[in-house]
């Protein structure tokens, strides 16, 4: 999952670079890649590290951190859920060190990550959705945010909201009473058009935003849609698609629906640059999402950091409250 404008043209499970790094190659025609093929591609980066990881010290950290990340992710497959969050979080943490080592945005010693940089209030573990997660203002989480173009969690944000912003998890939300969620919205491109005002071509792209909560259909109105979409900073400037798309609102699976919208490029921005500004590639070059911001932030929370927050919280419960974690995992007693 890369931010293509300043990272990679390939989509990896991790944002492996930043700040001007471009990794050639694409998986767009491979379909859904296997885990082994993904790691094979990532492992190949270590022969010729991208970006700032080409320097001696950073290269050593980049290679070692990726090696540890791969081993920890692989080891997590072999243990039960009682212990798995511990291995998964530290695997992601090591991957974060590789991201920082490769990022050209990380100057001086900023690429050397320190501490987790995040905390979770574990006072009410049995209600997972309500656990408050917050960055510490310093440490790895906060250091990585600007490197991947992400917002942070300056104020306490319920785990349930962060969970719902991850594409694979939005369809299985944590149980919570009356907690509005802002899921990752997948973007399906419909067509590109252009106009030529004052001899300067501007591109217009039309497409569907898929995954809006069905609750918004109870009172369909442009004002309500606009208010909801204001939680997605990159989608600013979204307009009604007019007659290009037949229906503004299309019902979907009963739990969510899709909404047509159009966006106009800024200045000399190309159609591709416009699409990359609006969305992030996730698990494949052709699968794109818009992600929400939390706490009134101006930048969306990158899915890499959303996973960081979720896995950190679950790992802390498993590590420091093992008996409560086992109860949380009880399928017969816990709806989550």
Predicted local confidence at residue 198, as pLDDT: 54
Distance CA 140, CA 318 (A): 21
Tokens 């025609």 locate to: 29
3-state secondary structure of 336: coil
Predicted local confidence at residue 199, as pLDDT: 53
Predicted local confidence at residue 178, as pLDDT: 63
Mean pLDDT of each 10-residue bin along the chain, 336 residues long:
33 43 42 79 90 88 95 95 96 94 87 88 89 88 91 91 93 77 89 67 86 81 86 89 71 79 86 89 84 88 96 96 93 89
- 29 token code pair: 């025609």
Q: What share of the chain is helix, strand, coil (3-state, %, to 5)?
A: 35, 15, 50
Predicted local confidence at residue 19, as pLDDT: 46
Predicted local confidence at residue 3, as pLDDT: 35
Is residue 21 within 8 A of residue 54, CB to CB? The reply is: no
Predicted local confidence at residue 23, as pLDDT: 42
Distance of CA 140 to the CA centre of its chain: 16
Distance CA 93, CA 133 (A): 17
Distance CA 9, CA 13 (A): 13
- Write out 86-143 in H/E/C secondary structure: HHHHHHHHHHHHHHHHHCCCCCCCCCCCCCCCEEECCCCCCCHHHCEEEECCCCHHHH
- In sequence order, what are the residues at sequence separation of 6 or more whose Cβ sits closer than 8 angstroms to the Cβ of residue 144? 96, 99, 100, 113, 117, 150, 304, 305, 308
- 198 token code pair: 């004052």
Predicted local confidence at residue 26, as pLDDT: 42
Model-level pTM? 0.86
Distance CA 27, CA 38 (A): 10
């Amino acid at each position: 999952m890369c931010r293509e404008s300043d990272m990679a043209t390939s989509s990896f499970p991790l944002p492996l670079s930043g700040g001007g790094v471009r990794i050639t190659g694409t998986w767009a025609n491979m379909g859904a890649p296997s885990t082994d093929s993904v790691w094979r591609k990532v492992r190949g980066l270590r022969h010729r590290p991208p970006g700032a990881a080409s320097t001696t010290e950073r290269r050593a950290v980049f290679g070692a951190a990726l090696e540890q990340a791969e081993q920890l992710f692989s080891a997590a497959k072999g243990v039960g859920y009682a212990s798995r969050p511990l291995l998964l979080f530290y695997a992601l943490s090591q991957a974060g060190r590789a991201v920082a080592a490769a990022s050209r945005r990380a100057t001086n010693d900023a690429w050397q990550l320190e501490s987790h940089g995040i905390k979770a209030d574990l006072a009410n573990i049995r209600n997972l959705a309500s656990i408050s997660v917050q960055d510490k203002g310093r440490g790895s989480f906060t250091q990585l945010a600007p490197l991947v173009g992400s917002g942070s969690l300056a104020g306490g944000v319920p785990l349930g909201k962060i969970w719902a912003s991850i594409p694979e998890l939005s369809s299985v939300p944590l149980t919570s009473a009356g907690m509005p969620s802002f899921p990752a919205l997948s973007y399906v491109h419909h067509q590109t058009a252009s106009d030529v005002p004052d001899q300067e071509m501007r591109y217009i792209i039309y497409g569907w935003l898929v995954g809006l909560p069905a609750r918004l259909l109870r009172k369909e109105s442009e004002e309500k849609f606009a208010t909801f979409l204001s939680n997605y900073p990159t989608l600013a400037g979204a307009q009604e698609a007019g007659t290009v798309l037949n229906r503004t609102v299309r019902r979907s699976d009963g739990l969510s629906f899709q909404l047509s919208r159009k966006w106009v490029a800024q200045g000399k921005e190309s159609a591709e640059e416009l699409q990359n500004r609006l969305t992030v590639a996730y698990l494949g070059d052709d699968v794109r999402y818009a992600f929400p911001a939390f706490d009134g932030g101006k930048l969306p929370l990158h899915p890499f950091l959303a996973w960081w927050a979720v896995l950190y919280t679950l790992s802390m419960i498993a590590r420091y409250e093992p008996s409560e974690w086992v109860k949380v995992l009880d399928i017969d007693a816990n709806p989550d």
